[in-house]
């Protein structure tokens, strides 16, 4: 089922339009009207989120308590794509915003993306004091693009004719960038790899967030505080421009964000930018240091970065904020958007599983309303066959700093721990649909366990597929219980973190749990 969150606002008042029915909506995919099979008007709750509390030796990725939809805001400080000085400015704007966040009745989580990856500064809370305290501990870091070529240089290099002598896109890009490095090819190549790393780090962080918060009910606003995304989008195909772009990672990220009901709100932390060195510079003036390039390159890059922000936001149902100095108000508007919305659902036509971008449009049969929804979604190989891209999903889950929550389960470290061997048991609640009762009670799980030391080194791992069919009698016995798996892992003496990754092969859901263990 394709789920489409839709915000309907009164044009005159800007307030949510309540009490609409499914008959008031029309959903089109690539211009064809789709039959609405699921419909809900969602008014989000603001009750606290709670992680399930278990007895010692047991660990889980599930939440407990109220499962109603919530007003959730996830704020990410993007340090790898933001200039050093602008990072201080955005923190001050966030402190101003958080000072009044509790008045919006929303729960806020604060994350930071830097050269060490994505990190949680503070989990969801409605207490602005603890968020501000966590924010004040953050120090600025140098962004990914710090060497020979700036993003403006890269934008100009892309528009320059290819340098003959190599058919490899990376080599060609490096040779173009050498114009801006005084012919130092090694610096240019390094700059190209920096950008490639920034793209991968940004997309992986977005996918980590989607899997971590995907099981929480409700529409989530992801405020991405940045200077720019490290990539450009093709308006026609909705793909990343560039022959070396990570297509599978990019499409998987968009799919994960849409499935998790996360709308991205990029905020350009640079504020109002004119794109020229000074007010007296003419856009067509030639750069004396690089005669092949005009000053307009800076302006072109600025417009391109804003276009990418807007397109990425629209694809996920969010909105981009740029060329404005009131950053605290931009954060407020993004967090306040979507506190009430409608959730529409229709089934994907499995006779048409051709991979690619599908355009969505939602129309409301009412006058004087403004409709806000995501502009489309990717049909990927994994949507038609959950087995596709499973290796990439498991790799990302194993390295993510967050627990994936789509497949909830419990891990128990059995005691006493024997020398050289740790035994564990995994519990999968049958109520989560891990057993397909429509297919002879079939189940199929990929189980991966990785043991890492304090330096993050892999010191032991196992990988196993567990599948079969339960008898009706066995299923009846565990109807309100768990499907279990017992395993063991050999490890030398020391302290470790065990990372349990489980992928439901029938539905493509992934869950992860981390647990500490000390080997005698």
The CATH number of the domain holding residue 238 is 3.40.50.410
pLDDT at 196: 82
**Both 273 and 208 in a single domain?**
yes
Residue 59: burial class (beta carbons within 10 Å; 0-12, 13-18, 19+) = buried
User: Which of 140-149, 278-287, 471-480 has the largest mean confidence?
Assistant: 471-480
The torsion defined by the Cα of 499, 505, 506 and 512, in degrees rounded to 10, comes to 10
Percent of the chain residues topping a pLDDT of 90:
39
33 & 107 share domain: no
Could you report the per-residue pLDDT of 233-253, keeping only the tens digit for each?
A: 887 778 887 656 678 888 889
Across 128-132, 150-154, 331-335, 513-517, least confident range: 150-154
Is 469 part of any domain? yes
169 found inside a domain: no
Chain centroid to Cα 386, Å, comes to 19
User: Do 217 and 293 fall into the same domain?
Assistant: yes
- Asked if residue 488 and residue 457 are part of one domain, the reply reads yes
pLDDT(452) > 70: yes
What residue numbers bound the domain in which 460 lies?
Answer: 390-519
Considering the domain architecture, whether residues 399 and 435 belong to the same structural domain is answered as yes
Residue 434 lies in a domain: yes
Query: Domain for residue 97, yes or no?
Result: yes
For residue 388, pLDDT over 50 is answered with yes
Arithmetic mean of pLDDT, 344-358: 85
The mean pLDDT value for 284-308 works out to 60
Domain count, the chain: 3
User: How many other β-carbons are positioned within 10 Å of the β-carbon of residue 92?
Assistant: 12
Here the CATH number for the domain that contains residue 395 is 2.60.40.10
Segment (H or E) for 6: strand 2-10
pLDDT interval class at 67 (50, 70, 90): low
Q: For the whole model, what pTM was predicted?
A: 0.80
314 in any annotated domain:
yes
Same-domain status, 491 and 476: yes
Residue 175 lies inside a defined structural domain of this protein: no
Can you say whether the dihedral through the CA atoms of 130, 205, 252, 29 is positive or negative?
positive
Q: Does any domain span residue 124?
A: yes
């Amino acid at each position: 089922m394709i789920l489409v969150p839709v915000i309907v606002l009164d044009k005159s008042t800007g307030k949510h339009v309540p009490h609409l029915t499914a008959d008031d909506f029309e959903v089109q995919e690539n211009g064809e009207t789709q039959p609405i099979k699921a419909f809900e008007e969602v008014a989000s709750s603001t009750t606290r989120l709670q992680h399930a509390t278990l007895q010692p030796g047991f660990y889980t990725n599930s939440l407990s308590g109220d499962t109603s939809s919530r007003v959730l805001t996830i704020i990410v400080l993007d340090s790898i794509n933001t200039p050093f000085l602008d990072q201080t400015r955005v923190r001050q704007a966030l402190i101003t915003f958080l000072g009044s966040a509790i008045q919006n009745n929303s729960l806020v989580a604060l994350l930071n993306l830097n050269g060490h990856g994505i990190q949680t500064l503070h989990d969801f809370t409605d207490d602005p004091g603890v968020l501000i305290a966590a924010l004040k501990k953050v120090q600025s870091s140098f962004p990914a693009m710090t060497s020979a070529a700036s993003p403006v240089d890269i934008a100009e290099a892309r528009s320059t004719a290819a340098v003959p002598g190599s058919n490899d896109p990376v080599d060609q890009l490096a040779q173009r960038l050498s114009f801006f490095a005084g012919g130092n090819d090694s610096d240019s190549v390094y700059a190209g790899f920096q950008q490639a790393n920034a793209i991968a780090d940004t997309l992986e962080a977005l996918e980590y967030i989607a899997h971590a918060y995907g099981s929480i009910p409700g529409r989530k606003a992801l405020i991405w505080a940045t200077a720019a995304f490290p990539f450009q989008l093709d308006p026609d195909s909705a793909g990343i421009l560039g022959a070396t772009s990570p297509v599978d990672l990019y499409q998987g990220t968009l799919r994960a964000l849409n499935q998790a009901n996360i709308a991205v709100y990029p905020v350009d932390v640079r504020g109002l930018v004119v794109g020229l060195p000074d007010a007296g510079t003419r856009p067509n003036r030639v750069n004396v240091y690089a005669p092949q390039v005009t000053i307009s390159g800076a302006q072109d890059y600025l417009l391109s970065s804003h276009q990418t922000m807007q397109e990425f936001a629209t694809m996920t149902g969010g909105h981009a904020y740029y060329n404005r100095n009131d950053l605290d108000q931009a954060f407020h508007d993004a967090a306040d958007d979507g506190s009430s919305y409608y959730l529409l659902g229709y089934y994907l036509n499995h006779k048409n599983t051709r991979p690619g971008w599908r355009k969505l449009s939602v129309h409301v049969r009412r006058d004087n309303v403004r409709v806000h929804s995501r502009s489309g979604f990717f049909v990927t190989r994994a949507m038609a066959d959950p087995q596709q891209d499973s290796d990439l999903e498991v790799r990302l889950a194993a390295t993510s700093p967050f627990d994936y929550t789509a497949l909830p389960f419990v891990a128990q470290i059995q005691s006493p721990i024997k020398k050289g061997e740790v035994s564990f048991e995994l519990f999968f609640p049958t109520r989560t649909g891990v057993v397909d009762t429509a297919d002879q009670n079939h189940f199929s799980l990929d189980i991966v366990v990785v043991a890492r030391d304090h330096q993050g080194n892999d010191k032991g791992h196992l990988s196993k597929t567990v599948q079969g069919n339960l008898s009706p009698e066995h299923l009846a016995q565990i109807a309100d219980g768990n499907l279990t798996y017992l395993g063991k892992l050999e490890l030398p003496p020391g302290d470790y973190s065990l990372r349990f990754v489980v992928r439901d092969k029938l539905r493509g859901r992934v869950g992860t749990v981390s647990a500490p263990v000390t080997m005698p």
